[in-house]
């Protein structure tokens, strides 16, 4: 693609949000401040004429929290829809209230929940847990196609008591290698792995699947960024205290 410094893709990313109210100490966070910052990146005059913002979420929104103990996660649906989230990866805490409750909440979301490498044989052959989607294709307002894959580590599955028996976890590396050619064949110019896993697994994924352009992860609660070869690897903190704003330009500049 010809070089151009104007961003053709603008992304926001966040993960692991539990506490709606601001904390007493910096960074204070809070969902109200977070939404205001999202609105800034979406609507401020300095971004006028640029690519429309795409917001991605890497899981752990439906719990655990004081509110979720009452609402079973339902209070988060309008919050995530209002951001608005364009796609999300299933986190372990999405399943705290059981898979049926996750499916009930996911059906009310205006965006897909992704999880490609955890399947439930009880649902049929190669069907993701909770009827999540394996991948999705988004198209930026500038016409760039973005292929997204949802991936999770095996360890967090072992920590959720309410999961069905006989789930099949496939190595994220294997799953990514299978799905990326399919997304490229559909016209994806940018490949994003939307993950819920620890840093060590993100790093391995970047090392072994260099075809991934960006890894946007969750599960860790601290902000981290690294570049592994040519793959950008991000985890964007927690509790509405941090987010990542990303611009991608043609010609490989990011």
- Mean pLDDT per block of 10 residues along the chain (254 residues) reads 72 93 81 94 93 97 85 94 98 94 98 98 96 99 98 91 92 99 98 98 98 98 96 96 93 53
pTM higher than 0.85: yes
What is residue 199's predicted lDDT score, i.e. its pLDDT? 97
* Structural contact between residues 148 and 137, judged by C-beta atoms closer than 8 angstroms: yes
- Name every residue whose Cβ is closer than 8 Å to that of residue 212 and which is 6 or more positions away in sequence: 176, 180, 191, 192, 193, 205, 206, 231
What is residue 252's predicted lDDT score, i.e. its pLDDT? 53
Q: How many CB atoms lie within 10 A of CB 4?
A: 11
- Name every residue whose Cβ is closer than 8 Å to that of residue 46 and which is 6 or more positions away in sequence: none
| SS3 per-residue string spanning the chain | CCCCCCEEEEEEEECCCCCCCCCCCCCCCCHHHHHHHHHHHHHCHHHCCCCCEEEEECCCCCCCCHHHHHHCCCCHHHHHHHCCCCEEECCHHHHCCCHHHHHHHHHHCCCCEECCCEECHHHCCCCEHHHCECEEEEECCCCCEEEEEEEECCHHHHHCCCCCCCCEECCHHHHHHHHHHHHHHCCCCEEEEEEEECHHHHHHHHHHCCCCCEEEECECCCEEEEEECCEEEEEECCCCCCCEEEEEECCCCC
d(CA 137, CA 135): 7
**Options 3.30.460.10, 3.30.930.10, 3.20.20.70, 3.60.21.10; which CATH number does 7-249 get?**
3.60.21.10
* Torsions phi, psi for 96 (to 5 deg): -60, -35
Q: What residue spans define the domains of the chain?
A: 7-249
């Amino acid at each position: 693609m010809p070089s151009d410094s104007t961003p053709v893709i603008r992304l926001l990313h966040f993960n692991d949000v539990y506490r709606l109210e601001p904390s007493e100490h910096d960074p204070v966070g809070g969902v109200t401040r977070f939404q205001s910052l999202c609105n800034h990146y979406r609507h401020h005059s300095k971004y006028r004429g640029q690519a429309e913002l795409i917001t991605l979420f890497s899981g752990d929104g439906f719990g655990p929290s004081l509110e979720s103990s009452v609402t079973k996660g339902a209070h988060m649906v309008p919050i995530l829809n209002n951001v608005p989230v364009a796609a999300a990866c299933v986190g372990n805490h999405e399943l705290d209230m059981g898979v049926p409750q996750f499916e009930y909440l996911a059906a009310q979301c205006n965006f897909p929940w992704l999880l490609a490498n955890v399947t439930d044989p009880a649902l049929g052959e190669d069907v993701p847990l909770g009827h999540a989607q394996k991948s999705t294709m988004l198209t930026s307002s500038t016409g760039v196609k973005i292929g997204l894959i949802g991936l999770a580590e095996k360890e967090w599955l072992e920590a959720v008591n309410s999961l069905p028996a006989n789930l099949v976890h496939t190595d994220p590396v294997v799953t990514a290698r299978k799905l990326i050619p399919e997304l490229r064949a559909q016209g994806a110019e940018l490949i994003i792995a939307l993950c819920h896993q620890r840093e060590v697994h993100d790093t391995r994924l970047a090392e072994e699947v260099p075809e991934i352009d960006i890894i946007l992860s969750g599960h860790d609660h601290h902000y981290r960024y690294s570049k592994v070869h040519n793959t950008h690897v991000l985890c964007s903190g927690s509790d509405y205290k941090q987010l990542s704003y990303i611009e991608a330009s043609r010609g490989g500049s990011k």
